[in-house]
A and B are shown apart, each in its own frame.
Chain A
């Protein structure tokens, strides 16, 4: 490993017809890092990760994975990667154990199948056919087949999409155990909680471009706000935006229809003065809430859209 970055992308570009999926992307992921690609659907996350996995060829740009290029010894490189793709359907009539034994056979070295089954907590489902597994169990099996060759570098494309909260948490715990083994992990997601919880660093991508890069903490801190205050008023009622921005402690204002979002340095001055302002202008509140800022707020601040809007 040493100083060689796990991934180095330079000037990466990929188009599908008129659609630019990846637009001059530069990125370096260090060995041992857990790195997140965060962005809405269609941002170019999957295209980027599939170029890294050697499944898609870029139109231009340089790709180095574990210090090597795909044009060289592709099979040798694949021996060192663990991959979980979006929407793979494994053979339904084959059992968990049989599936893992198959995937294990492709790698010269790796973990015993029984160990991997235990690691993803599918011991009881060892003899169950893939078709009988729940969504969360299928996803854990997908992670297991990525694990079985004991790879140096993992690519997990939307590992928790479509799962219920409990299955998602189970999967997060699993990914955290991979991290503690000093392996490099790259995750794409459009769930900010996932990126915040799992990733050392996050790149926020939108329309094929990287619009922010840093640790989740640093990105959130860049908002300059300790709190986000969200409130709703009757649709169509106008509020003086300049006055809102001028309230003491407010560092940012955004409006979406009847829904407003204030980034606040402190809550105890912003909330009373907001209520006073509304009272003065005779506008009634329909809702009011506040939360600590998240990566979602960073994305909204950068693009004016929500992650899940796509």
Chain B
């Protein structure tokens, strides 16, 4: 018997549209998908905004020759100098109010500081520079400075693609995982498998239904980053779309896999955290994944979030081509197909 139904009357379309409607009729889900990533970006963007170089806070110990030592130091804009007596100086140094204490002695000065602290080392160099020049040092090489603050190399530029990838992961895994476990718990799943519905189409519909809002999700975050923080978008929108879509489908597949067995929301929630925690830590959302030891790199590079973060960063910041992204896209594709196939095999339908 020929099936004469239109595509709108077919199960894959119907399953997808119903899932989509369920999502858009859930105001909380809209908040977590669209508003939360933007708020997070705004918060981190403000916290790590580019600032003028900070002044070094130092102290000079009160004594007979204080004036001669402190005078030139106070004249330099890069230094913030406090004159302190013995006990106040010790306390300020201990609590980090000053990074370095200059102690005038008979033959010159002593610098008292903790060489394990970067800002103390910077303060030592600055202070010494000013002291030596004031005493008449002539630098043999003439130096001039040219300042470069390039778009694309700031922390916010690094952060936005990372947060986008993290959002795609969270929405894929939470959005799909919870919806499926909820249907299992309410026995709706059992009712569906009592019909001639194709099980593969049921699972595929969850991933497909992400399509509709994926565009908005990506545009909301990337648009915010570009317009508010001037984050560069050097790759084409098409490339951004392709990479985001593949990442969304991959995390959707992982969401299906996680939701394949649990009967309760609590059970699923635990599994989701176990799956996502290593990726939050290792995949380089907030700092480069190369900070981890070389021995861990094969594991880290194989994580889907690492691949998604790297691919999105390369697209946005470097305008990488499809061919250049082949390794990352390959890793994502393997995760997508693998998790979907395994999910379909081990899925608990009742």
Contacts and interface: CB of A to CB of B under 8 A. Distances in A.
Interface of A: 53-55, 75-76, 78-79, 81, 83, 85, 87-91, 93-94, 98-99, 101-109, 129, 145, 149
A94 B18 contact: yes
B206 to A, nearest CB: 13
Nearest to B1: A108
Interface string B98-116: 0000000000000000000
Interface size classification for chain B: 20 to 34
B188 A89 contact: yes
A55 B350 contact: yes
Given A55-B350, A102-B18, A104-B9, A90 B196 contact: no
Given A53-B194, A104-B9, A107-B195, A93 B187 contact: no
Contacts of A78: 194-196
B264 interface: no
Contacts of B139: none
B191 interface: yes
Contacts of A91: 18, 22, 183, 188
B194 to A, nearest CB: 5
User: Top 5 A-B pairs ranked by shortest CB distance?
Assistant: A89-B186, A105-B14, A78-B196, A93-B25, A106-B195
Interface of B: 1, 3, 5, 9-11, 13-15, 17-18, 21-22, 25-26, 183, 186-188, 190-191, 193-198, 350
A83 B188 CA distance: 12
A106 B13 CA distance: 11
Contact of B3 (A54, A108, A129): A108
Contacts of A98: 17-18, 21
Contacts, number: 75
B22 A106 contact: no
A99 B188 CA distance: 12
Contact of B15 (A83, A102, A107, A145): A102
A105 B11 contact: yes
A94 to B, nearest CB: 6
Contact of A105 (B10, B183, B187, B190): B10
State the majority secondary structure of interface residues on A.
loop
A85 B194 contact: yes
A51 to B, nearest CB: 12
22 contacts: A53-B194, A78-B194, A78-B195, A81-B194, A83-B194, A85-B190, A87-B187, A88-B186, A88-B188, A89-B188, A91-B188, A94-B22, A101-B14, A102-B11, A104-B9, A105-B10, A105-B14, A105-B15, A106-B195, A106-B196, A106-B197, A129-B25
Contacts of B350: 55
B1 A83 contact: no
Contacts of A99: 18
Contacts of A107: 195-196
A85 B195 contact: no
A85 B191 contact: yes
A227 to B, nearest CB: 43
Nearest to B185: A89
A308 B254 CA distance: 46
Nearest to A84: B191
A105 to B, nearest CB: 4
Contacts of B196: 75-76, 78-79, 106-107, 149
